[in-house]
Structure formats: structure tokens, C-alpha cells
Amino acid sequence: MNSAPHPLTLHEDRLFAAEPTQRAIARRLYAQVSGLPIISPHGHTDPSWFAGNAPFANATELLLVPDHYVFRMLYSQGIPLDALGIPRRDGSRADVDPREAWRVFASHFHLFRGTPSSMWLNHVFHDVFGLRVRLDASTADQYFDHINAALQTPDFRPRALFERFNIELIATTESPLDPLEHHAAIRESGWGGRVITAYRPDAVVDPEHEQFPDALRQFGELTGEDVYNWDGYLRAHRQRRAFFAAAGATSTDHGHPTAATANLSPAEARRLFDTVVRGEATAAQAELFRAQVLTEMAAMSLDDGLVMQLHPGCFRNHNLGLFEHFGRDKGADIPLRTEYVHALKPLLDRFGNEPGFQLILFTLDESTYSRELAPLAGHYPSLLLGPAWWFHDAPEGMWRFREQTLASGGFYNTVGFNDDTRAFLSIPARHDVARRIDCAVLAKLVSEHRMEEDEAAELAVELAYRLPKKAYRL
Amino acid sequence: MNSAPHPLTLHEDRLFAAEPTQRAIARRLYAQVSGLPIISPHGHTDPSWFAGNAPFANATELLLVPDHYVFRMLYSQGIPLDALGIPRRDGSRADVDPREAWRVFASHFHLFRGTPSSMWLNHVFHDVFGLRVRLDASTADQYFDHINAALQTPDFRPRALFERFNIELIATTESPLDPLEHHAAIRESGWGGRVITAYRPDAVVDPEHEQFPDALRQFGELTGEDVYNWDGYLRAHRQRRAFFAAAGATSTDHGHPTAATANLSPAEARRLFDTVVRGEATAAQAELFRAQVLTEMAAMSLDDGLVMQLHPGCFRNHNLGLFEHFGRDKGADIPLRTEYVHALKPLLDRFGNEPGFQLILFTLDESTYSRELAPLAGHYPSLLLGPAWWFHDAPEGMWRFREQTLASGGFYNTVGFNDDTRAFLSIPARHDVARRIDCAVLAKLVSEHRMEEDEAAELAVELAYRLPKKAYRL
Amino acid sequence: MNSAPHPLTLHEDRLFAAEPTQRAIARRLYAQVSGLPIISPHGHTDPSWFAGNAPFANATELLLVPDHYVFRMLYSQGIPLDALGIPRRDGSRADVDPREAWRVFASHFHLFRGTPSSMWLNHVFHDVFGLRVRLDASTADQYFDHINAALQTPDFRPRALFERFNIELIATTESPLDPLEHHAAIRESGWGGRVITAYRPDAVVDPEHEQFPDALRQFGELTGEDVYNWDGYLRAHRQRRAFFAAAGATSTDHGHPTAATANLSPAEARRLFDTVVRGEATAAQAELFRAQVLTEMAAMSLDDGLVMQLHPGCFRNHNLGLFEHFGRDKGADIPLRTEYVHALKPLLDRFGNEPGFQLILFTLDESTYSRELAPLAGHYPSLLLGPAWWFHDAPEGMWRFREQTLASGGFYNTVGFNDDTRAFLSIPARHDVARRIDCAVLAKLVSEHRMEEDEAAELAVELAYRLPKKAYRL
């Protein structure tokens, strides 16, 4: 291409309605929240970044390889994962020059037009790296060199970025088997950044997880409990939850195929567990076991105060061939229809009215927003709604979340934003999108005289800052 | 709080788009319908109010205690129902001063920001009671005293409000066991207000209703029919329907867990009924029985001309603990996924093309609007669509209803608005919201040159006044 | 009516937002695409029109009788199909004067207010026939006479209209049993219009289709294969696909009740086929057979390069009485809830990552857009999303399609517009609506600073012209 590169701009009014009255209100609301510290109560950044504070490797390793939003879209348009240098299941990688991989990405960046990835990435390019031309084939090398050079400077080390991003707190997510040594190192380092963990026990809860037998064995070794015995298994959970809480955790997180919960008698639960540990559980028994463990986790939450998160409804690793060659988490996770009303009843029958219990619900099935989730959260004191999740973490998805939960759930049964990301550099961009959309939603309500602007201003701060701290007990 | 109370205003352009072209059109359309009489063809006001015309007790008893929209939201944020003086299952009530309950409500009124309850209540406060400050903790007593004083004056008696609200007709909803003495008293009183009933036979139709055995017994006593015999049972329905029609009813209403209908042979129906009356029906048989009775009701509608309404898809009394202590209808009803295409086919196979038959369908599952309901209503001459119902009776829900039913169903297969409420004072507010949203929807269509303004003006009047009268045969 | 007829106008900004910034952008984008040739890669026009080039009969026969969108709405409001002269199942027709039928239509044209039919028809009236008064009872005869006179002129013959409509290519849809003689006649005529076919084998694939036994017999006679033997049956498909490809086809199309696919072993498939040809297949076996044939069709696509289209999820001929008297395709088709994630996995496990394979997915269940279809198409290289289909081919439906598929699927995993119609005269109107809505969607994104206008301009052309050519290999 011979033409001059296109300028890259971040418009100060982006994501606000074009209509001047709404835009003016949105601007005023946003001015109250744009500078608030970031609360990131649920996500997947790597705590070793903040413990070790080593520089990030290069643009490709930092921005392309770990971001399944990005490489899934490239893959959908025929680009092999090997061309991007994505690690294979066996740990090997195609012999691809990171610069070449970056060029492939750059020359296909138009595929992301209109998607949240393009917004997040352009925000990172513009605000974190100070780039002022648009990414395309003609600017690929300029980008690659510029970003790599920046990453070698002290200002782009993880802790410096954490501070520059004005992050008040970030939660990572770990398995019960994790020794949490990075979190300990961070605490002991004297650095002021608050990086906490969250208890995500799926590997020792899901009999259908390929790592379950190994994970269960390690769970026993780590805790010294007889985890092949139902009571010992529960004690092991209590022990690790206490360890996580001592390391700052205020929440647990559960990624199940469905939202099913169960309320078995102890004798039934014991029999079911015996079947599970013998490796003889049918699919239905595996489902019932996960369901029962959710209810047990709720019981433990009542004791230790950890807030519970449920992220159900994803068919993981749907692409058989890709899974065989590249393994888990390669952008082939597909949402499923999800039911909550019957599924949650066993758990809610026991704990739904308990003052100390808090369960934050997420969904990938937007048809449940107005039909199930908002009516549930607008009634049960124990239930709150997590924000638009994953495939729906986008301006349109956030609008749908608000417009479909507002009538029955209101604003105060929601918990503000989760970035839920391992893409550390995009965290300010993601929170900024969420704050802008909430301000845009509120501005529409004010402009249509459904609330006064002082009420909207108060809500904008609640949604951006206070509600997440309250919901996650931070 | 020391700060001056916030002013309470009702903006004349509320719920209209901020965009000036659309707003101007919406204003002109609304001017044609804002003064039209209210047709309320389906709702739950108490006919004894209009028969006895006694003053309402106080603000708490009138506006808080009966409104499950209000106390469910308060409950979801941790406020015990006892703190609000909600009656318990056994009829007892916590010893709560109504003024104290009102203060709890007032100090949590911010929870309703953006919800329809806040719009309806502010409309009542402003227009019915003439209040000009916003409700919050600082104004709670002022509100309580002002409202109570007003309720003692003649202008706030039920009949005076009925007239002030410009209600042309209101339908209440009664069980077949109801003697309809209040409706008779109203008719005999010489008062001109038209208060009719509707036939809602759920208690004698649903074998899983806890009152079914008792209700069935009373049904027999009242009608003199042998209601433990299928033919006698059907004759009893015909007799009570005739009694209701004589008392002004033009419709029946059916609140079933699903939309299932059936078309059994008389012999099969008789056998099923025998199982039901012996109390031996399984869940599937109970479902089949309800399904068959719907089809029988349709057959009777063909004879007596009563329009049929179907309100399916709610999991009633989902909260076990709350149900045990406080009983039914305490804000713990949660919508369920609902299927119509297979479910209605047995009934439609028999009566779907009958010129005299009219079935109005409602849903709590918005995913059915564009997929099932609009295509069904846009084909079958016997089917019409009721308005956005219950959890969806809100500005966003009304927009979704129109935007998702318009292409396949058009405007003329819908029936205008139902307030469906027992909150009598909010009836003008609710109809006003519906009229404003319909005008806003039409204004958008006109502004985007999809219809001319004269067509929209005609439609605005149809939706506000003519279609409900036609659909409900009023 | 004595009043003067209303003027009929087509506003140059129709379907663009009223908000001036958005409208101005939309106008500029639309100016780039309004004159592009029409690519119509999927539809149901009759190839004999273009082969024979005979004049159309009259307004009623051309615009009313074949358009199930139109007569379904009229029927839903109580107009008997006989009053419109719709042919009955036995081929007979009520003795209705076409002018009388037209008058019935005209006097009920208000029923279509706000629906796509009114937009399409008004566009045809205005632009194709040059009418300048609105259709209603008072103008019915004027319309009828004017249209009939026009149809007798050379400019209104099918080929002249094809050229005037600036159609670059149109695909029709035929059964494998079709000799494609009209397509041959067109090719041999020397006329330059490109009219290709598409392979739609439902009648020989669906054991529950009432024509299946006859169709299968003819399939054998036509191909000379033993189609009662699984291998012969597959060879017959390969032969007819080659014949269709030679006649210009670039795609196949499959209209199944669900999206189910299967991946049986050859021995299992053979046994299943034997059951099917014996007429002994249960409903589940019929479903499994259709599922297996879809996967076989995918295998053949890999060899012959025909792009595959799947149109699932419709309950055909739902109205029993109407079906008995009037037969198939009389506006009584109703969408069903449809599942794709599990359903497509068997096929995708085999061919989902094949570079040469392309499957275009459609849906009548909009709840799958964001939950299933966009995530699938945003990952699998073989999957693309067809446009908003049938009941959703309307401005609101198109907006929902874009807003619910954009985040996960982007623009480039979609295929542009299909008119999918047998209403030949409405084709320019339908493509115009699609182009306008895409420009309006893009204008909103630009006005909210989510992309730059040069990017939107490129996308507008992609969506209107380049993506359909690429997706359908034209």
C-alpha cells in the first residue's frame, strides 16, 4: 500500500448516543466516573506478572497469542492457528517469527470492525502505547517495533502498568491446588498493589473434567484429608477455602455446564460421591454431583463469607479437531441454552433467604435476562446479577443486559462490571467501555424523563465503583 | 438529611425519544389519545371497593402492602416482609406501625430507579395526591400524613377516583365460586360506573392447586351438578359461565403453568377426569387435564361468546421458605420458558379457524414474540396477542413487544393495553405509560418514513381505545 | 369515501434514523451502494418467467395470489382465502373476479401498516408502476386498471424488469427431479440475464414428506441408479448435483425441521436407509436419516464445491383445516425453537475445519443469534451466517441480526442479503431495505465513534455486493 496510514483517534464521546441531549447528559455523568479507580473483582490475569514484574516479551506474545477473542476471529476467516504461533496441545509451536504472526494479524485487523476487540485494542494502541496511526498491513512493522521497544522500558512493567491503570484491586482465579505463592510473594514484596485470588474448584468438582482423577489425588495430598470419602472431601474444600480467604480471596467461582443445583440427603450424597470416585458416574450422575457440590459450596459460604459466583452454560472445546491438535481454550467454546428457575431451586430452598449468603449469577443465554434472572434477582435477597459476560461483553450486549434486567431487577441487584480477562493491557479499555455504556443508558433514561440527573449521577458512581465493592465484599 | 427535598415533576414529554423530530411527532400523536377514556378489560381490582365505596385506610395499606412489585424489590435488598407489615399465611401480621413501614419504603425508594414501579408511583404521588417533593427518608412523614389526610376526603373514595380517572369500563377477575354479590350491588346501586367480572376457573381446573378438592366440592354445591362426573363437571362450567356473562363478563382467563392444550376423545377425557377426582393424577395427567379443559373452554366460548385469555408460563411461589411463612402471591413468581407452537395445536386443530372464536395469548417468555406468537397471530383468525405482561409491563418491555411482533403480527392482531393490576390508584399511570410508548413507537416509524403521520394517528387511537373494545367485545 | 386519495411517496431517507448526524452518515454510505447491481443468490422466482418472457396476468395474480406474507395477514383478520381467489389443494379456485379480490385487499391494506409487506408493496407501486396515490378502498380500481395496463406493455415483461432492476444474477431453487429445462432455455436464448439454479433435495431426503415415495421412485428413474440401495441413493445425489452445477448452480439448500446432523458409520447408515425405504422409519429414525443426509451432502460439497445452505426450524402447514382445503405453503408455517450447538457437532466434527467447505446457516429462532450462531460462525472457518430470514426479514429483524451477531461474528462472517422470494417485483424493494438498514447500522457505529466512516463505506459495499458473491462462489 502506498497511501498514507489512517490516523488513529479515540473520540472523547465514543459510545455515547449521537443525539445531542443524550450525549450532553452522558458526558456529564461520565465525567463523574472516568477517573474512579478500577475495581476488578473477577478475572484471569497471571499473578506471576505482579510477583515477578518482568517485562512482557513482545507485541505478539502480549496481545495476540493469549487473546482467544482475537485468534478465534482470525481462525474463522481461514487463518491457521499455526500461522499465529499459538501453542499446540503438546506444548510445541510452529516455527513462526513473531513479527510474521503480527503481520498476519495486522493485515486482517479489518475483520474486527465493530467488535469489542477492535475497541479494546485501539484503546490499548492509542492510550497505553501512544500510537496515532491505524493498524493495517502498511503499519504492521511500525506497530511491532514501537510496542516491543516500549515493553523494554520500566514504565511498561506489570506493576507500573497496574499503577498507571489506577487499579485499586484485582482478583485472579486459581484452582484449589494452587499454592498461591505468587500472591504471597506480592504481599511480602512491600509493593502496594492489591492482587487477591478467587477459589475456582472446577477441576476437583467436575467428574467429566479430564484432569479430575489427578486433581482429586493432589487435592488429598495437599490437604492431608481422605478426599475419597465424602466428609473428607468436604473438609478438604473447607481447608482450601480458608487458605484462599487468608490470601485475600473474597469469592469462589464455579464454571459448570448448567446451573443445576441439588439438595441430596447426606446418605444420598455419600453414595453418589462413592460412585464418582470409583470413576463410574454416568453423565447424569456427574451432573448431579456438580449440582450437589454447588449447594455444599453455598453452605460453606455461609460459614466463611466467601461470595459465590456461578458461570454456567458453555459447551467447552466444541471443535474436535482443534482440541486434538491445540487443546483447551482455543476459542471453540460455544454458549448453550441455560435454565435457572428449576435448576437453582434446590439451593435456594436451603439458602435463598439467608442474610449472609450471596450468589452472583452470570449467563451466556441472553433470553434468560428478562425471563429468569431479573425476576429471580428482583426477589431473592441472596441473588445478584453479574454483568454481561464473555460473548456479550460488548456495547450491544451491555445495552441488552440493562434494558432486559432493569424492569424486574433494577440497578441495585447488579454488581457493576467484571473485565474477566487475561488481557491485562485491555483492562482500562474494558472498564471504560462499561462505564461509558452505563452512562449512555442512564443518559437515555434522563433524557426521556424517567429519572432526574442527580439520581443518574449517583447511580453512575454506584455502578462503576460502589456496587462491585459491596457485592464482592471488598 | 438536612438538604431541601428534591422537587417531584412529571415531565410532559416523558417516555418520548429525546430526538426532536420523533418527540414532536410523539407529542402530536399523544395529544389525540391522552384524554380518551380508560378501557381496562383485564385486571384484579377488588369489586367491593366500588360496591361499598369506603375510604382507603392509609398510605401503607393502599400503596405498599398490596403491591407485590414493590415489596419484592424491597425484599430482594434484604428488607424482611414483616418490616413492611405484609400479612402472613396464617393471617397474622407483625406488629408494625404503618408509618414505620412507610418510612422503610421511603428510605429505599431509590431502589426503584428506572423501574416501572417508580414511574407509576411518582405519577400517583404527583397527579392523584398533588405531591411536589420527591419521596425519600426526609419526606416520608410528609407523604404519609398528606396521603392519609387525602384518603379521608370524599374525592378519594373509590367511585370518585373511578370517575376522576375517566374509566369507561373495568373488568375484575373472579373464581367460579364467587357469588359476584359486589358486582350485583354495583349494578343495583344506580351508580354509573361499569365494573364487570371475568371467569377465572383455575382453582377448579388445576388438580395441583392446593384448593382443588375443596373448590371442586363447592363447585358442585353451588351448581347442583354432579361435578365428580365429567359431563356434570362440564355442565357446571357452562352454568357458571352463563352466570358470569349475565353479570357482564365478556371473557374468561386461564393461568396455567404451560400453554398445553389437548384434544382427547370423550371417553379418554372421562377416564382422565375420573383419575383426577380420585386424587390419583400424576403430574403428567394433571397437565393433560388442564390442557383438555382449555379445549373444553374454547368449545364453550363458541357457544356463549366469552373471549378466552391464556396467561401461561409462571412458576408460582418459587420461594419455599417465604411460601411457608407468608403464603401465595408474595413476589416469588418466576417466569418459565414457554412453548406455544406444539402446545396450542390440539385446540387450534379444532377451533383455530372458527369465525366466532377469539383467544388472546400472553407470555412471560419474550423469546416467543417473534418466533411463535407473532407468526401464530399473524395467521390464525382466532388468535390475538395480549400486551407485554407483568415483568415486561415496562417501557423497555413494551418496545420489545412492538418491535418483535410488528413484522409478522402487525398492529391489528394486538389488543391494546391491559393494566392487569390490583393497584387501583396506578391505573391511569399504567395506561398513560402504554399510550406514551405506543405513540413513541409510532413516532419512530413516522420519523423513519415507514408510515405517514395520518396512519399513525389512526393507529394511536386504535391501540388506546378501539382495539381493546373490539377484542374483548365490550 | 369522498375524500381525496392520500399521496403515495417514497421518502429518500426512509429507514434512516431521524437523528441528523446519523442520517447524514447513512445517506453518504447509501449513496455508495444504492446503484450497485443486485446479487440474489437464494430465492424462489420461477425460471419459466425468464425462459418464456410472457406478460404477467393481472395485479391480483401477480401481487396477491402468490404472496403468502400478504394473504396470511388478511386471513388472520378473518378474510377467507376463497375471497382472494387462492387456489385450493385440488387445484380448483373459488369463482372470484380478480378485481373483486383486489378490492378486498385494497380495503384492508391498512392491516399492513408498519410491516415489511407495506414497505415492499408501496415501493413496487411507486417505483415499478409509477403510482402516486395510496392504496385503499377508494383507489382499488384505479390501481387494478393501472397495473394491468402496464403489465401488457413490453417494459413489464420479465426480462425487461430483470434488466431494469439491475439484477446481475438470480438463483432459483429446484428439486433434484427438475429437468431444469427453463434454465437451459434461458442459456440457449442468447439473452444475457444470468439465472442459475440451486439444489434443494428435501423431497427425496425427508421420509416424512408426503411426496417422498413418489419422489424417490422418480429419482431412480431419472438417474438410472438403484436409489433403494444406500450407495445407489448417494450416487444419484452426486449425479444430480453435477447436473445442477453444470446448469450454473453454486449451492444446495436444505429445509429441515431441525438443524440435526449425524455421523453414522456406513453400516449404520445403510441399515437406517433400508428402514426408511421400507416406509418403516419412526419419527426419530426419519430425523436421524435427514441428519445423516446433511452430513453426506457436506461430504459431496467438499468434492463438487457447492456451497451448502441450511434453513431449519419451521413447523410447516400448522393449520390442519387450511392444509386440508388449501394444501401446502398457505402462510401457516410457524417457527420453532431451534438448537445448533449439539445439532451441528457431528457434521462439524468431520468437516468443520475443511478449507474447501462452506455452510451458510439460517434461523427463525432469534434467541440463537448471540447465543449459538455468532459464536459458531466467529470460530469455525466453514460456517457463515445467512441474513435475517422470512419472519425476520424486516427492518427490526435486520437490526436485531446485526446487533446480536456483531460482537462474536463480526461483519465478515455474514453473507449479505438474500431476498428469498417468489415475489419478483419486490426484489429491488427488498434489497433496498437491506442496504438501507445496513447503512443505518453502520451510521450508528460511526456516529458513536466505533469505526471511522471510511471503514463503514468499505463495509457497506462488502455487505451489498462483495460478500454474497464470495460466500456463494459467484
B chain contacts of residue A26, beta-carbon cutoff 8 Å: none
d(CA C238, CA B422): 66
**What is the length of chain B?**
474
Burial group, residue C91, by CB count within 10 angstroms (0-12, 13-18, 19+): exposed
Q: Does A438 touch chain B (CB under 8 A)?
A: no
Residue B249 Cα, gap to closest chain A Cα (Å): 31
DSSP structural state of residue A133: B
C149-162 burial, b for 16+ CB within 10 Å, e for fewer?
Answer: ebbeeeebbbbebb
Contact C76 B378 (CB under 8 A): yes
Using alpha carbons, select from B216, B287, B211, B301 the residue that is nearest to residue B256: B287
Residue B5 pLDDT: 87
Q: Does A113 touch chain B (CB under 8 A)?
A: no
A chain contacts of residue B78, beta-carbon cutoff 8 Å: 355, 381
Q: CA torsion sign, A385 to A387 to A392 to A395?
A: positive
C-alpha cell at C65: 395470489
d(CA B420, CA B43): 4
d(CA B320, CA A236): 31
CA atoms within 13 A on the CB side of A280: 6
C chain contacts of residue B19, beta-carbon cutoff 8 Å: 17-19
Q: Is the pLDDT of residue B107 over 70?
A: yes
* Residues with Cβ within 8 Å of residue B79, at least 6 apart in sequence: B104, B108
Contact B219, B234 (CB under 8 A): no
Residue B2 pLDDT: 52
Helix (H) or strand (E) holding B195: strand B195-196
Helix (H) or strand (E) holding B335: strand B334-335
Assign B347 to helix, strand or coil. helix
Question: Looking at chain C from residue 81 to 110, which residues have their Cβ under 8 Å from any Cβ of chain B?
Answer: 110
Encoded amino acid at C432, one letter:
D
Q: What is the tens place of the pLDDT at every residue in A44-102? A: 999 999 999 999 999 999 999 999 999 999 999 999 999 999 999 999 999 999 999 99
Residue A2 pLDDT: 52
Q: What is the mean pLDDT of chain A?
A: 97
d(CA A281, CA A274): 9
Binned at pLDDT 50, 70 and 90, residue B210 comes out as: confident
* Residues with Cβ within 8 Å of residue B229, at least 6 apart in sequence: none
Structural domains for chain A: 56-153 (1.10.2020.10), 158-471 (3.20.20.140)
Strands A251-254 and A307-310: parallel
Chain B residue with minimal CA distance to C17? B448
- CB-nearest to C112 from B367, B410, B447 is B410
Burial group, residue C171, by CB count within 10 angstroms (0-12, 13-18, 19+): buried
C188-208 burial, b for 16+ CB within 10 Å, e for fewer?
Answer: eeebebbbbbbbbbbbbbbbe
d(CA A379, CA B316): 13
Regions of chain C where pLDDT drops below 50: 1
Residue A1 pLDDT: 43
Residues of chain B with pLDDT > 90: what percent? 99
C-alpha cell at C329: 405453503
Question: Looking at chain B from residue 200 to 219, which residues have their Cβ under 8 Å from any Cβ of chain C?
Answer: none
* Residues with Cβ within 8 Å of residue A150, at least 6 apart in sequence: A129, A156
A chain contacts of residue B107, beta-carbon cutoff 8 Å: none
Residue A406 Cα, gap to closest chain B Cα (Å): 6
Q: Is B119 left (phi over 0), alpha (psi -120 to 50) or beta?
A: alpha
Roughly what angle, to the nearest 10 degrees, separates helices B395-409 and B427-447?
50
Residue A437 Cα, gap to closest chain C Cα (Å): 11
Q: Does A443 touch chain C (CB under 8 A)?
A: no
Residue B288 Cα, gap to closest chain A Cα (Å): 21
Helix, strand, coil abundance in chain C, percent, nearest 5 = 55, 5, 40
Q: Is the pLDDT of residue A306 over 50?
A: yes
C-alpha cell at A231: 466428609
Using alpha carbons, select from B431, B335, B373 the residue that is nearest to residue A404: B335
Using alpha carbons, select from B44, B68, B83 the residue that is nearest to residue B316: B68
Strands B314-315 and B334-335: antiparallel
State the first-to-last Cα distance of chain B, in angstroms, to the nearest integer: 51
d(CA B371, CA B384): 15
Encoded amino acid at C472, one letter:
Y
Q: What is the tens place of the pLDDT at every residue in A182-217? A: 999 999 999 999 999 999 999 999 999 989 999 999
C chain contacts of residue A397, beta-carbon cutoff 8 Å: 370, 407
Using alpha carbons, select from A392, A451, A457, A422 the residue that is nearest to residue A329: A422
If you average pLDDT over residues B244-261, what whole number do you get?
97
C-alpha cell at B332: 416469588
Burial group, residue B221, by CB count within 10 angstroms (0-12, 13-18, 19+): exposed
Q: CA torsion sign, C175 to C176 to C177 to C179?
A: positive
Q: Is the pLDDT of residue B1 over 70?
A: no
Using alpha carbons, select from B271, B70, C379 the residue that is nearest to residue A72: C379
> In C39-135, where does DSSP find H-type helix?
47-52, 59, 68-76, 98-107, 116-123
Helix (H) or strand (E) holding B315: strand B314-315
Contact C450 A394 (CB under 8 A): no
Question: Looking at chain A from residue 378 to 407, which residues have their Cβ under 8 Å from any Cβ of chain B?
Answer: 378-381, 383, 403-404, 406-407
Residue B268 pLDDT: 98
C chain contacts of residue B367, beta-carbon cutoff 8 Å: 337, 365-367
Q: Is the pLDDT of residue A25 over 50?
A: yes
CA atoms within 13 A on the CB side of B173: 22
Strands A334-335 and A314-315: antiparallel
Helix (H) or strand (E) holding A149: helix A140-151
Contact B406 C11 (CB under 8 A): no
Residue B422 pLDDT: 94
Q: What is the tens place of the pLDDT at every residue in B322-340? A: 999 999 999 999 999 999 9
Q: What is the tens place of the pLDDT at every residue in C117-157? A: 999 999 999 999 999 999 999 999 999 999 999 999 999 99
Partners of residue A196 on adjacent β-strands: A171
* Residues with Cβ within 8 Å of residue C48, at least 6 apart in sequence: C182
C chain contacts of residue A322, beta-carbon cutoff 8 Å: 353
d(CA B303, CA B291): 19
d(CA B73, CA A383): 12
Assign A152 to helix, strand or coil. coil
Helix (H) or strand (E) holding A335: strand A334-335
* Residues with Cβ within 8 Å of residue A374, at least 6 apart in sequence: A385, A404, A405, A406, A407, A408, A409, A413, B391
Contact C353, B414 (CB under 8 A): no
d(CA C439, CA C447): 12
d(CA C373, CA C362): 9
* Residues with Cβ within 8 Å of residue C195, at least 6 apart in sequence: C47, C50, C169, C170, C171, C172, C183, C186, C248
C-alpha cell at C168: 446481475
d(CA A193, CA A198): 16
